[in-house]
């Protein structure tokens, strides 16, 4: 998804920012850090960098030099987005972000969208976070993700071709694997 958008960004004037939530990294993935990580990818104008340098110097002067706070992050992200023709934000695995952080993250995204009508946000997650997403984005579009039978078959073919124990394989076994597994998986995913 991100690569496809990036390919297009070479010809069109669009910006793409991506973030992957990861349960192994929950402690560090605070809302401010997530918004900051998205912001980092969208600084492409000198004047926006200027705003950040000012905020950075100000924060450094304060005792101990503090990290940016969420409201500052959201404000700077809005400035960055406003400086660009169109922005796409992709966030993967919302269910892996700390449950207590999720409402804050969705609220920040909502806040950002309200000021920038051209911005598009794509998020993924397990079905159980859908209710939370709908709470903040009542008109959001929900799409179920499941691999097609054809895709599973191609994946298996590739794995079988790369098999290091290839001498244990026979044409009949190979044919069975390619027939049965895609059928079963498709049933599971429906």
Partner 1 sequence: MEHAEYTNSVNSGNVDCNNVKNSYNNIVNLNQIIADENPEIMQWLSPLDPRRRHQDVRTDRFDSVGSWFLERNEFREWRSGGGGAEKAVLFGYGNPGVGKTFLR
Shortest distance, position 57 Cβ to partner 1, whole Å? 10
84 scored as a contact of partner 1 (CB under 8 A): yes
The CA distance from 53 to 93, in Å, is 31
**C-beta closer to partner 1: residue 143 or 172:** 143
Binders of partner 1 among residues 85 to 144 (CB under 8 A) are: 85, 92-93, 109, 113, 117-127, 129-130, 133, 137, 139-144
Radius of gyration, alpha carbons of the chain: 22
60: tokens are: 């450094």
The Cβ-side half-sphere exposure at 148, using a 13 Å CA radius, reads 3
Sequence-distant (6+) residues with CB within 8 A of 42 are 15, 17, 77, 80, 81, 84, 87
In the complex, the smallest distance separating the C-beta of residue 180 from partner 1, rounded to whole angstroms, is: 18
Q: Interaction with partner 1 in 26-45: which residues (CB under 8 A)?
A: 28-29, 32-45
Q: Which of 27, 46, 64, 168 binds partner 1 (CB under 8 A)?
A: 46
Location of structure tokens 């929950």:
26
Per rule CB under 8 A, is residue 187 in the interface with partner 1? no
Q: How far is the CB of 54 from partner 1 (least distance, A)?
A: 11
Q: Does 10 bind partner 1 (CB under 8 A)?
A: yes
Total number of residues that touch partner 1 (CB under 8 A)? 81
Backbone angles phi, psi at 181, to 5 degrees: -60, -50
Site for partner 1 in 141-160 (CB under 8 A): 141-148, 151, 154-155, 158
Please, which residue, 28 or 171, has the CB nearer to partner 1? 28
DSSP string, 59-92: HHHSTT-PPPPHHHHHHHHHHHHHTSSEEEEEEE
């Amino acid at each position: 998804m991100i690569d496809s958008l990036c390919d297009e960004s070479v010809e069109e004037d669009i910006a793409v920012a991506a973030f992957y939530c990861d349960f192994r990294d929950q402690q560090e993935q605070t809302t401010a850090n997530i918004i900051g990580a998205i912001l980092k990818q969208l600084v492409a104008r000198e004047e926006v960098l200027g705003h950040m340098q000012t905020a950075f110097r100000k924060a450094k002067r304060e005792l101990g030099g503090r990290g940016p706070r969420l409201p500052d992050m959201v404000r700077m992200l809005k400035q960055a987005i406003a400086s660009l023709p169109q922005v796409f934000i992709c966030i993967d695995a919302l269910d892996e972000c700390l449950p207590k952080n999720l409402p804050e993250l969705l609220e920040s995204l909502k806040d950002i969208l309200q000021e920038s009508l051209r911005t598009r946000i794509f998020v993924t997650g397990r079905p159980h976070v859908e209710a939370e997403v709908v709470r903040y984005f009542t008109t959001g579009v929900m799409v179920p993700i499941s691999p097609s039978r054809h895709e599973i078959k191609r994946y298996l073919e590739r794995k079988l071709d790369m098999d290091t124990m290839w001498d244990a394989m026979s044409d009949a076994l190979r044919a069975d694997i390619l027939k049965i597994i895609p059928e079963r998986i498709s049933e599971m995913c429906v």
